[in-house]
Amino acid sequence: MVQEVRIHAAPLERLELLLPPARVELLEKTAVHARAMLDGRAIWNLNSTAQGGGVAEMLTVLLAYGRGAGVDTRWLVLDGDPEFFAITKRLHNMLHGSSGDGGPLGPDQLAHYLQVSRANAAEAVPMVRSRDVVLLHDPQTAGLVAPLREAGAHVAWRCHIGSGMVTEETEAAWAYLRPLIEPADAFIFSRPSYVPAWLPPARVRIIAPSIDPFSTKNVHLEPFEVAAALQQAGLVDLPADGGSLAFGRRGGSTGTVRPHRDLLLGEAPLPAGARVVMQLSRWDRLKDMTGVLTGVADHLDRLPDDVHLLLAGPDVLGVADDPEGAAILQACRTLREALPEASRQRIHLCCLPMDDVDENAHLVNALQHHAEIVVQKSLAEGFGLTVTEPMWKGRPVVASAVGGIPDQIEDGVSGILLHDPADLGALSEALAKLFADPEQAATIGAAAHERVRDYFLGDRHLVQWVQLFDGVLEPG
């Protein structure tokens, strides 16, 4: 059944601490305008999961700031069975220009998709009042556009994915989605190149994703806090020196990192002195974890002997809307097990727990602080918050020049772009150069931090949301 996610208010003032005066003034004026314009309305967001993925990450913080600004923000997570999520994952892959699992999108799949959508609409529509504003996220929610519009709500459909190309796969996916989303009042995309040509430009808005610098995943951690968390979680063989294991929860309380001994899939912790290259993302074929593993394993001789690779992702049982995760993780395990012993000891697979989303966020933060270089070798990417997050932490990122990643990274300035994601030699070469030149790596990391501060923090995102409500949805 549809579930409502609890939202804890966050004050805008803490975000303003990092902003120049002009941005503070704009944010405060926008909050005043939003309270007046949206008085008596609720702003609803509907998506497919409350944890495990960039959409859930953004909603957690943006809705908290909205509520802190005095706007009635709500969040619903729809329900679906494995067949429904297999269909929507197929759509996800096809919008990226990939065939995904190669399964069909015919009348039977559409019938099942609509059946699940009607069941979700039957629960969601009575919660939403006429004149409320609803933001629906990604293909899982497309079937709710018409029912919510018919109930008198103002509906915007937000697509976080895209390829920037027109292919047989993308055309088939849009043909499937078009009749479902066309009734929406507005359409939101991360990049102009993701917008299908048949959408009316006046109803389209471009809003890039953002991060919150004060969330548990992105708040600054001191080295002793990083060491304590990674030692307690059994991830790095560091001494227990009494560092704090505390982390902030979204509701304002404090949590403590639990002892874990199985996050590295039965392997021993990474050595304390290892320099870590890490890719941290979902176990998704388009993230190409297998390609990263192969690219590093085949060229370990190019890297210093103390460099280790860590591939980290969520516990696949904790991400309900991604049915491919277990297969991708198993593929990585199979590749690793086939390596010579010396190589296998320098390559590690990690599944982070999903039963406590705040602890998960803290461990992600600690790993991103601990890594010397972060990789995101995606084959396709809607935007890539897994790039934004380590950039904010001052880490040099080596990433594919696909999707929204080039919007974030200025090649050679605030990161390194791989112009051919399939070129595994280019990946190892980029890593080798950064390890050989620590000064350049530090310079790139510092520029990465400034790039995120200038363009990808939540104040810009919140202002654009209010502009969307003001300019596209009827205020009457």
| 386: Cβ contacts below 8 Å, ≥ 6 apart | 54, 279, 280, 281, 374, 376
Question: What H or E segment, with its residue span, contains residue 470?
Answer: helix 458-471
Backbone angles phi, psi at 427, to 5 degrees: -60, -50
pLDDT for position 49: 92
Q: Read off the pTM.
A: 0.93
Bridge partners (DSSP) of residue 310 are: 278, 348
Q: Where are the alpha helices (DSSP H) in 270-356?
A: 289-297, 325-337, 341-344
CA distance 134 to 145: 9
Q: Which of 330, 368, 339, 332 is nearest to 235 (CA)?
A: 368
Local structure of 411: helix, strand or coil: strand
CA distance 44 to 55: 14
Show the tokens assigned to 461: 């995102």
Strands 236-237, 246-248: parallel, antiparallel or unpaired by DSSP? unpaired
Environment class of 433 (CB within 10 Å of its CB; exposed 0-12, middle 13-18, buried 19+)? middle
3-210+457-471 is classed CATH 3.40.50.2000: yes
Local structure of 256: helix, strand or coil: strand
Q: How would you label 194-212 residue by residue, b for 16+ Cβ within 10 Å and e otherwise?
A: bbbeebeeeebbebbbbbb
pLDDT for position 320: 62
Q: Which fold has domain 223-455?
A: Rossmann fold (3.40.50)
DSSP secondary structure string, 275-288?
EEEEEES-S-GGGT
pLDDT for position 475: 46
For the chain, state the CA radius of gyration: 22
* Domains 3-210+457-471 and 223-455 fall in the same CATH topology: yes
Residue 190 identity: S
Backbone angles phi, psi at 351, to 5 degrees: -115, 115
Residues 245, 249, 253: CA angle, nearest 5 degrees:
90
pLDDT for position 301: 96
Query: Is the Cβ–Cβ distance between 54 and 385 less than 8 Å?
Result: yes
pLDDT for position 381: 93
pLDDT in tens, the chain (476 residues): 899 999 999 999 999 999 999 999 999 999 999 999 999 999 999 999 998 778 998 999 999 999 999 999 999 999 999 999 999 999 999 999 888 788 889 999 999 999 999 999 999 999 999 999 999 999 999 999 999 999 999 999 999 999 888 999 999 999 999 999 999 999 999 999 999 999 999 999 999 999 999 999 999 999 999 999 999 999 999 887 788 999 999 878 999 999 999 999 978 899 999 999 999 999 999 999 999 999 999 999 999 999 999 999 999 886 666 778 999 999 999 999 999 999 999 999 999 999 999 999 999 999 999 999 999 999 999 999 999 999 999 999 999 999 999 999 999 999 999 999 999 999 999 999 999 999 999 999 999 999 999 999 999 999 999 999 987 665 44
Residue 315 identity: D
CA distances to 80, 81, 279, 318, 320 from 323, in Å: 12, 11, 20, 11, 7
Q: Where are the domains of the chain?
A: 3-210+457-471, 223-455
Q: How would you label 276-308 residue by residue, b for 16+ Cβ within 10 Å and e otherwise?
A: bbbbbbbbbbbbbbbbbbbbbbebbebbeeebb
Rounded to 10 degrees, the C-alpha dihedral 189/190/193/196 comes to -20
